[in-house]
Protein backbone atom coordinates (compact mmCIF):
# COMPACT_ATOMS: atom_id res chain seq x y z
CA UNK A 1 0.00 0.00 0.00
CA UNK A 2 2.93 2.39 0.63
CA UNK A 3 3.83 2.72 -3.07
CA UNK A 4 0.20 3.35 -4.05
CA UNK A 5 -0.01 6.10 -1.43
CA UNK A 6 3.36 7.35 -2.69
CA UNK A 7 2.10 7.45 -6.29
CA UNK A 8 -0.99 9.38 -5.20
CA UNK A 9 0.94 11.90 -3.11
CA UNK A 10 3.70 12.26 -5.69
CA UNK A 11 1.09 13.15 -8.29
CA UNK A 12 -0.53 15.57 -5.83
CA UNK A 13 2.95 17.00 -5.25
CA UNK A 14 3.45 17.36 -9.00
CA UNK A 15 0.05 19.03 -9.45
CA UNK A 16 0.37 21.34 -6.43
CA UNK A 17 1.69 24.21 -8.54
CA UNK A 18 -1.31 24.32 -10.92
CA UNK A 19 -3.44 26.86 -8.96
CA UNK A 20 -0.42 29.11 -8.45
CA UNK A 21 0.62 28.97 -12.12
CA UNK A 22 -2.95 29.60 -13.28
CA UNK A 23 -3.13 32.66 -11.00
CA UNK A 24 0.21 33.91 -12.34
CA UNK A 25 -0.97 33.46 -15.92
CA UNK A 26 -4.13 35.46 -15.17
CA UNK A 27 -2.05 38.26 -13.61
CA UNK A 28 0.62 38.10 -16.31
CA UNK A 29 3.49 37.89 -13.81
CA UNK A 30 5.28 35.34 -11.63
CA UNK A 31 5.13 37.73 -8.68
CA UNK A 32 6.78 36.02 -5.70
CA UNK A 33 6.71 32.54 -7.28
CA UNK A 34 10.10 30.85 -7.34
CA UNK A 35 10.41 29.18 -10.80
CA UNK A 36 13.52 27.11 -10.00
CA UNK A 37 11.58 23.99 -8.94
CA UNK A 38 10.06 23.68 -12.44
CA UNK A 39 13.14 22.58 -14.43
CA UNK A 40 14.08 20.43 -11.46
CA UNK A 41 10.68 18.69 -11.58
CA UNK A 42 11.32 17.80 -15.24
CA UNK A 43 14.87 16.51 -14.69
CA UNK A 44 14.00 14.67 -11.48
CA UNK A 45 10.95 12.96 -12.98
CA UNK A 46 12.91 11.97 -16.08
CA UNK A 47 15.75 10.51 -14.02
CA UNK A 48 13.33 8.45 -11.89
CA UNK A 49 11.57 7.20 -15.03
CA UNK A 50 14.98 5.99 -16.25
CA UNK A 51 15.60 4.45 -12.81
CA UNK A 52 12.27 2.61 -12.96
CA UNK A 53 13.34 0.99 -16.23
CA UNK A 54 16.76 -0.03 -14.85
CA UNK A 55 15.24 -1.39 -11.65
CA UNK A 56 12.20 -2.94 -13.37
CA UNK A 57 9.91 -1.07 -10.97
CA UNK A 58 6.76 0.22 -12.71
CA UNK A 59 5.54 1.80 -9.47
CA UNK A 60 8.44 4.26 -9.58
CA UNK A 61 7.53 5.07 -13.19
CA UNK A 62 3.86 5.64 -12.29
CA UNK A 63 4.89 7.98 -9.51
CA UNK A 64 7.11 10.09 -11.75
CA UNK A 65 5.98 10.19 -15.38
CA UNK A 66 3.39 12.88 -14.67
CA UNK A 67 6.22 15.11 -13.48
CA UNK A 68 7.73 15.17 -16.96
CA UNK A 69 4.46 16.56 -18.32
CA UNK A 70 3.49 18.90 -15.47
CA UNK A 71 7.06 20.13 -15.05
CA UNK A 72 7.25 21.10 -18.72
CA UNK A 73 3.96 22.98 -18.45
CA UNK A 74 5.13 24.85 -15.32
CA UNK A 75 8.46 25.58 -17.00
CA UNK A 76 6.88 26.91 -20.20
CA UNK A 77 4.45 29.04 -18.18
CA UNK A 78 7.27 30.47 -16.08
CA UNK A 79 9.29 31.32 -19.20
CA UNK A 80 6.41 33.40 -20.55
CA UNK A 81 6.08 35.34 -17.30
CA UNK A 82 9.67 35.68 -16.08
CA UNK A 83 12.00 38.63 -16.50
CA UNK A 84 15.03 38.12 -18.75
CA UNK A 85 17.59 37.14 -16.05
CA UNK A 86 15.18 34.66 -14.45
CA UNK A 87 14.24 33.24 -17.84
CA UNK A 88 17.93 32.68 -18.69
CA UNK A 89 18.58 31.01 -15.32
CA UNK A 90 15.56 28.68 -15.65
CA UNK A 91 16.34 27.82 -19.30
CA UNK A 92 19.98 27.09 -18.51
CA UNK A 93 19.01 24.92 -15.55
CA UNK A 94 16.63 22.81 -17.65
CA UNK A 95 19.09 22.40 -20.53
CA UNK A 96 21.97 21.40 -18.26
CA UNK A 97 19.95 19.01 -16.09
CA UNK A 98 18.11 17.26 -18.92
CA UNK A 99 21.43 16.91 -20.78
CA UNK A 100 23.09 15.35 -17.74
CA UNK A 101 20.15 13.00 -17.10
CA UNK A 102 19.91 12.05 -20.78
CA UNK A 103 23.63 11.40 -21.15
CA UNK A 104 23.62 9.38 -17.93
CA UNK A 105 20.71 7.35 -19.29
CA UNK A 106 22.66 6.75 -22.48
CA UNK A 107 25.76 5.72 -20.51
CA UNK A 108 23.67 3.34 -18.40
CA UNK A 109 22.28 1.74 -21.56
CA UNK A 110 25.84 0.96 -22.66
CA UNK A 111 26.75 -0.77 -19.37
CA UNK A 112 26.37 -4.55 -19.55
CA UNK A 113 26.07 -5.04 -15.79
CA UNK A 114 22.43 -4.31 -14.86
CA UNK A 115 23.32 -3.51 -11.23
CA UNK A 116 25.95 -1.00 -12.36
CA UNK A 117 23.48 0.62 -14.78
CA UNK A 118 20.88 0.86 -12.01
CA UNK A 119 23.46 2.43 -9.69
CA UNK A 120 24.53 4.95 -12.32
CA UNK A 121 20.96 6.12 -12.86
CA UNK A 122 20.30 5.88 -9.11
CA UNK A 123 23.10 8.31 -8.31
CA UNK A 124 21.93 10.88 -10.85
CA UNK A 125 18.38 10.48 -9.51
CA UNK A 126 19.67 11.15 -6.00
CA UNK A 127 21.28 14.35 -7.24
CA UNK A 128 18.19 15.63 -8.99
CA UNK A 129 15.85 14.81 -6.12
CA UNK A 130 18.11 16.52 -3.57
CA UNK A 131 18.09 19.67 -5.70
CA UNK A 132 14.32 19.43 -6.19
CA UNK A 133 13.52 18.96 -2.51
CA UNK A 134 15.74 21.87 -1.49
CA UNK A 135 14.78 24.22 -4.37
CA UNK A 136 11.86 25.90 -2.54
CA UNK A 137 14.42 26.99 0.04
CA UNK A 138 16.55 28.80 -2.56
CA UNK A 139 14.74 31.94 -1.44
CA UNK A 140 15.21 31.32 2.31
CA UNK A 141 17.37 34.42 2.90
CA UNK A 142 14.71 36.59 1.29
CA UNK A 143 11.99 34.82 3.31
CA UNK A 144 13.78 35.48 6.60
CA UNK A 145 14.73 39.08 5.74
CA UNK A 146 11.27 40.06 4.50
CA UNK A 147 9.42 37.82 6.95
CA UNK A 148 7.34 36.72 3.96
CA UNK A 149 7.07 33.05 2.96
CA UNK A 150 4.85 33.62 -0.09
CA UNK A 151 7.49 32.05 -2.35
CA UNK A 152 6.93 28.68 -0.61
CA UNK A 153 4.06 26.73 -2.11
CA UNK A 154 2.12 25.39 0.89
CA UNK A 155 0.34 22.53 -0.92
CA UNK A 156 3.71 21.48 -2.37
CA UNK A 157 5.29 21.37 1.10
CA UNK A 158 2.42 19.29 2.56
CA UNK A 159 2.34 16.90 -0.39
CA UNK A 160 6.13 16.58 -0.25
CA UNK A 161 5.95 15.45 3.38
CA UNK A 162 3.30 12.78 2.70
CA UNK A 163 4.97 11.70 -0.55
CA UNK A 164 8.36 11.29 1.10
CA UNK A 165 6.96 9.36 4.05
CA UNK A 166 5.26 6.92 1.66
CA UNK A 167 8.30 6.41 -0.57
CA UNK A 168 10.59 6.07 2.47
CA UNK A 169 8.44 3.18 3.69
CA UNK A 170 8.39 1.62 0.22
CA UNK A 171 12.16 2.03 -0.24
CA UNK A 172 12.78 0.31 3.09
CA UNK A 173 10.27 -2.46 2.25
CA UNK A 174 12.01 -3.29 -1.05
CA UNK A 175 15.47 -2.64 0.40
CA UNK A 176 16.29 0.07 -2.15
CA UNK A 177 18.39 2.85 -0.63
CA UNK A 178 18.16 4.90 -3.83
CA UNK A 179 14.46 5.24 -3.05
CA UNK A 180 14.65 5.41 0.76
CA UNK A 181 17.54 7.83 1.34
CA UNK A 182 16.39 10.87 -0.63
CA UNK A 183 13.01 10.68 1.02
CA UNK A 184 14.56 11.16 4.45
CA UNK A 185 16.05 14.38 3.09
CA UNK A 186 12.69 15.27 1.53
CA UNK A 187 10.95 14.87 4.88
CA UNK A 188 13.48 17.22 6.52
CA UNK A 189 13.06 19.78 3.72
CA UNK A 190 9.25 19.62 3.90
CA UNK A 191 9.34 20.16 7.67
CA UNK A 192 11.77 23.07 7.18
CA UNK A 193 9.38 24.66 4.67
CA UNK A 194 6.53 24.16 7.12
CA UNK A 195 8.47 25.92 9.86
CA UNK A 196 9.09 28.90 7.58
CA UNK A 197 5.45 29.27 6.55
Q: Are 24 and 81 in contact (CB under 8 A)?
A: yes
pLDDT of residue 12: 86
Q: Mean of the pLDDT values across residues 11-32?
A: 91
Provide the number of structural domains found in the chain.
Answer: 1
pLDDT of residue 169: 95
Dihedrals phi, psi of 36, to nearest 5 degrees: -65, -30
Q: Are 153 and 171 in contact (CB under 8 A)?
A: no
pLDDT at 148 over 80: no
Distance from C-alpha of 68 to C-alpha of 164, rounded to nearest angstrom: 18
CA 136 and chain centroid, separation: 10
Identify which has the larger pLDDT, 139 or 7: 7
pTM for the complete prediction?
A: 0.88
Residue 17 is given by DSSP the state T
pLDDT digits (tens, 9 = 90+) for 159-183: 889 999 999 999 999 999 999 999 9
pLDDT of residue 153: 72
Distance from C-alpha of 20 to C-alpha of 30, rounded to nearest angstrom: 9
How wide is the angle at C-alpha 93 spanned by C-alphas 52 and 32, nearest 5°? 110
pLDDT at 197 over 80: no
pLDDT digits (tens, 9 = 90+) for 99-123: 999 999 999 999 999 999 999 999 9
Q: 173: Cβ–Cβ under 8 A, 6 or more apart, which residues? A: 2
- For residue 180, the enclosing domain spans 2-196
Q: Mean of the pLDDT values across residues 130-135?
A: 85
Amino acid sequence: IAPIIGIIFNNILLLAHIPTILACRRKGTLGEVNPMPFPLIVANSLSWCFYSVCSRDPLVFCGNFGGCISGLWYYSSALQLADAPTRLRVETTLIVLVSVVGLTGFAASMVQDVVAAKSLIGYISLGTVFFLFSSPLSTVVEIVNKKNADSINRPFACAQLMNCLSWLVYGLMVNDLFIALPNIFGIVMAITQGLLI
